[in-house]
Structure 1
C-alpha cells in the first residue's frame, strides 16, 4: 500500500510539473502525520465542538490563522485573515410542547423525541394557535417539471405538512424529476423557503430515515441548541413562524385519525395532479427564544499568483461543527472530527503543498475555511453575497467536506458529476494515477446541495465537490460502503464523531494530492471552466463573463 501511495504522489508530481523529463520533480508536501495531528487538535474537547460565536470559534480561527501564517500565506481580506459576519443566534426553550388536536383526541409531542422545531424570526417568543394542518405532498413548485403542490391552495394561517426528498426518489422513475438523484426541491431548506413564499404560518417536514438520508437522532442533534442565521434588515420576518420536523410514526397517527392512509397519500403525492389534503387537525406551539446577536468569521488566506494574481482558485472547507449541548448526559461535545476537522486540516496541507511546490501557481490561490455550514451554509453564503475577489475573476471553487479515513481507493467520486467542465480536470488527474472517476453513489441524499460549494455555484462560480471513492484497494467496495453507512448511522452529527488513532489517512493524502494537481493545473491556464449546457448556473456564469 505504501508503494501504491508513493506511485500516486510521484505521478501527480510529474504531471504537476508539466512532464516526465525529470528536470523538475515536485515532491508534494502533504503529510499524513501532520494531517492527523491537526485533526486531533481541531476535534479535541478544548475546542468545544467549534460552534460559531463561541470560545471554540475563537480557538479555531486563531489556530488556522497561525497555521496559514506559518505556511507563508498572506491574509485574504486586506491585512486580515478574517471575514467577519453579523450573525443572530436563536435558542429555543426545550420545554415547549407541540399539540396536535384532532377529533379522536390530542397528541402532545415532547421536544426532542416527539418533534423538533424552531423559528428563524428574530423574536423572543413565537406562537402558533390552532393552525389548520394540510398535507402538501412534497411542497414543491417547479414549473420546469410541470409541478405545483400548492396549486389552488391558500395556506395563510395554516401549517403545511411536507414529505422530505422529491417524487423521483420515491418512485425511482428516471423520467420524474431526476429519478433517484435528489434535486434542490428535495432539500429541507427549499421546502421551508417555499412554504414561506406561499404564506404558510408553519411548515413541518415528515422525517423518514431513507429519504432524509439520516436517522432521527441527526434531526435532534442538528436542530437543538443555538441556531444561527445571517442578520437581515427585517429580522427574518419573511420566514414562516415555525419550521420543524415530526417523526414518520407521528405522521401516520395524524393521517389515520383523519381517516387517511399515510402510505396511499404518499403514493398520490408522487403524481403531478396531486391536490393538497386537509388533515382535520390543528397544531399549536408556543416557543420562547433566547436571542443573541454575535459575530462569526470565515478564515481566508491567499498565495498570490506569479503571472495573473487577479484571478483566483478557491479551496474551501467548513471549520465549524455543532458545539456543546449541556442538556446531554455523558459526552456533551460534538467534536466533529471527520465533519469537518478533517477537511479543515486538509486546507492546511494544501497550504504547504502550494507554498513548497517546485511549480509556483500563475493564478492566485485562496484557502477559505468557512463558518456556520452546519447552520445552513451561512459562511459560504455570506462570501457568495460579499466576495473578497470579483466572481468573474474567480476561476473555480473546490470544496472538501469529510476526508477519507479508510485508506486509498481505486476510484474518486465527483458529487454532482456532469455539472461543469471541472469534471474533465478530475478525469485527467485521476487517469494519470490509474484511478477511475465515478458519480456520487448515493445521489438520492442530495449531497451536492448540502455543502459549501453550492453557495459559490448559486452565484455562478463553477464549483467542484470531490469525495473519496468507494472501492477500497485493501477491502473492496462493499466493505467501504458498509463503513460509511456505519459512520452515518452511529457518528454523523453525534458526540461520537471523535478522532481515532486507528484512521488510515493515506487515502486522504492521495485525495489531497489529486486536488492539489487539479488546482495547480487551473492556476497555470488562461481559460475559465464553465458549467455544462442546460445546468441551472450556466446562464449566470455566461452573463458574468461577458
Structure 2
C-alpha cells in the first residue's frame, strides 16, 4: 500500500534537464514525522524558550550538533567543530549622565533636557563618550542617488555631527523603506562621509512617544553582536566605530535650533516633502556627554557542511540558514511563562535539518558545497547572522547564495509560495523551476507592505552583496473558500511571539514536507549551476553594495 502510494506521488513530480528523476525520487524520502520530531524537541519546555545565551539555547545547539553528526555533515564552525562563538552585548544608557548643550550662532549656550529635547542611543562599544563638534543639516540623511536621494552632496560633514529630519520616500518598495528606516543605515551613510554623530528628528513623533524612547534606552537598551575585542559587529540600532553619538532631537528642540539659524522648520519640511535638496552647514555647535552600561553573553551559531562533488565548484557554498533562538521566558499567561517558539522558528530549523538529511543521503552530491547554518540571536536583531557574515567560517567571496527559513507557518496545505527577495536577482528563475517540479504556484509577496525581505536573517547576506531569498507561503489556493490570508493573520494575532506558540494541532505536517522539497530543489539547482546567482542589473540592493 505504501509503495503503491509513493509511486503515484512520484508520477506527480516533474523531472527536467536540471532536476533528474533520481533527485525527485530522493526528495520523496522526506518525512513529515522527522520534521515533527525535531519541532517536538526544540519546542519542549525543558529548553525554556531557547533564548540566545541561555542554557536552553545551548541545549538546542547541542541537539543540532548531534543531528549533524548522525547525518554525517562535516564540521564547518570554528576550531574544527560545528560551533561558532557569537559574542552578544546589551547596552543601556545611564540617563542621569546624559547631557547635551547647543552653542548657538549668537554664542548663547542652551542646555537641553533628556527625554524632552534629546535622547541618545546607548553606545555598543564605549562606556563613556564626550563629544564637541559643529553641526550640518543633511535633509533626510540618505546617500542613495539611485532613488534620487543624495543628501550628502555638496556638504562637508567630516568630523561633524549631522542633523537629520526623517523622511522616508513614499515611492519605493516596502523592503527599501524598511532598510532606509533602520538607524544603523542612517549612521552608515554618515560614517561613510566622515561624520562622528547622527541626531535624527522625526517630525511626526509626539512628545509622549519621544519620552518613551528615552525610557526604552535606559530600561531595555539596545542589542549588538561584538567582536572578541569588543567592537560592534552587527546591530540595527547602532553603528559604533566612527559614530561617537547617535540619537534623536525632539521637534521642539529642532525648531529652537533652526530658529537660531534663521531657518523656518515648517518651510524646510515642506521642501523635503517636495523632494527638494535642503542640506546645508549650520553655524551652531553641539557638545555633550553620556555613559552606557554593558551586559555581555556568549551564544553560538551551529554550522555543518555537505561537500560538493566538483573539484572546483566545491570550494563555493550555498547556505541554508534558520534561526535557532526564540524569546525565552516571561511573565506567566494562564500559568505558562515559556515562549516555546514552535512555529517561530523550531519549524524552520526542523525543515532545514530534513533538507540536510536529504543531501547527506544523496549518492552523488551536487557540484557546489552546502552549508547548514543555524544562527543565534535573530530575535535580538539578526545578530547571529550578522556575526557570521562579518566573520564567515568559509571565504565570503565563495558564498554564492543564502536560502533562509524563518517560520514557514505550516497552517494549511502548501499549494503556492512567495519567494521573498528573489525578484531582486537571478534566483527568481531558480525558484520558478523548483516550484514547477513539485507542482507549486509562485506568486509575488502577498504582504508587500510588511518589508519581510529585510526583517530576517537573509538581510545580513544581502547587505554584504550575497543574493538571498526567504520562502514563505503564498495565499493562492485551489479552494477559494479557504482564506489563508485571514487564517495566517488570525494565527499571528493570537500566537506570534506569545506563549501559545507551542506544539499543537495547528500544524499541517504534510505542508512541512512540501516546504522542504521546494527549498531543497532551490539550493540543488543553485549548487549544480556553474554560473553563480547575480543581482538584477541596477537593482537597489545591487547598487547599495
Further displaced range: 183-192 or 87-96: 87-96
In the TM superposition, what whole-angstrom CA distance separates every residue of 1:458-493 from its partner, at most 9, and x where no partner exists?
Answer: 44433232222122455668x33334445666655x
Which residue number corresponds to residue 61 of structure 2? 61
**Residues 158 and 382 (structure 1 numbering): CA distance in 2 closer, same or farther, change over 3 Å?**
closer
RMSD of equivalent CA atoms: 5.0
Q: Relative to 1, partners in 2 of residues 1:21 and 1:225: Cα closer, same or farther, differing over 3 Å?
A: closer
Checking the alignment, whether the CA contact within 8 Å between 1:316 and 1:399 is kept in structure 2 is yes
Contact residue 17 and residue 24 of structure 1 kept, 8 A? no
- For residues 438 and 75 of structure 1, what CA distance do their matches in structure 2 show? 36
Which residue number corresponds to residue 504 of structure 2? 501
Partner SS state of residue 342, structure 1? helix
How far off its partner does 1:496 sit?
4.0
Q: Which residue of 1 aligns with 2:144?
A: 142
Q: 2:175, 2:454 within 8 Å by CA — same for their partners in 1?
A: no
Structure 2 portions without partners, runs of 5+: 103-110, 206-211, 233-239
Rate the CA distance shift 1:482–1:24 in 2: closer, same or farther, 3 A: closer
2:522 to 514, 518, 536: 518
Conserved in 2, the CA contact under 8 Å of 1:157 and 1:201?
yes
CA distance in 1, matches of 2:24, 2:444: 33
1:175 corresponds in structure 2 to: none
Match of 1:199? 195
1:317 aligns with 2:322: yes
Does residue 1:230 correspond to 2:230, yes or no? no
- Structure having the higher Rg: 2
Q: Distance in 1 between matches of 2:115 and 2:526?
A: 53
- Decide whether the 8 Å contact of 2:165 with 2:201 is kept in 1: yes
Equivalent-residue separation in structure 1 for 2:459 and 2:452 (angstroms): 10
Q: From the superposition, tell whether residues 8 and 142 of structure 1 become closer, same or farther in structure 2 (CA, over 3 Å).
A: farther
Aligned residues: 509
**Structure 1 residue aligned with 2:185:** 190
Deviations 1:297-346 (A, max 9, x none): 22111122344443432211122334456899987655444333332222
Q: Distance in 2 between matches of 1:431 and 1:297?
A: 37
Which stretch shows the higher mean deviation, 46-55 or 192-201? 192-201
Is 1:349 equivalent to 2:354 in the alignment? yes
Question: Structure 1: how far apart are the matches of 2:225 and 2:531?
Answer: 37
Whole-angstrom CA distance in 1 between matches of 2:515 and 2:13: 13
**Equivalences for residues 233-312 of structure 1 within 5 A:** 235-236=231-232, 237-238=240-241, 240-241=243-244, 243=246, 265=269, 268-269=272-273, 271-275=275-279, 288-292=292-296, 294-308=297-311, 309-312=314-317
Unpaired stretches in structure 1, ≥5 consecutive residues: 173-177, 210-215, 542-546
- Which residue is 1:30 aligned to? 30
Q: Name which of structure 1's ranges 359-368 and 320-329 shifts more when overlaid on structure 2.
A: 320-329
The superposition leaves residues 377-426 of structure 1 with CA deviations (integer Å, 9 ceiling, x where unpaired) of: 33333333433333454443211122132213442112223322221111
What's 2:383 paired with? 378
Contact 1:138 1:149 in 2 (8 A): yes
Match of 2:83 in 1: 82
**1:127 touches 1:286 (CA, 8 Å); kept in 2?**
yes
Contact 1:124–1:291 under 8 Å retained in 2: no
Q: Distance in 2 between matches of 1:14 and 1:359?
A: 20
Q: How does 1:435-454 map to 2 (within 5 A)?
A: 435-454=440-459
What corresponds to 1:121 in structure 2?
124
2:537 paired residue number:
533
Pick from 393, 397, 401: which aligns with 1:396?
Answer: 401
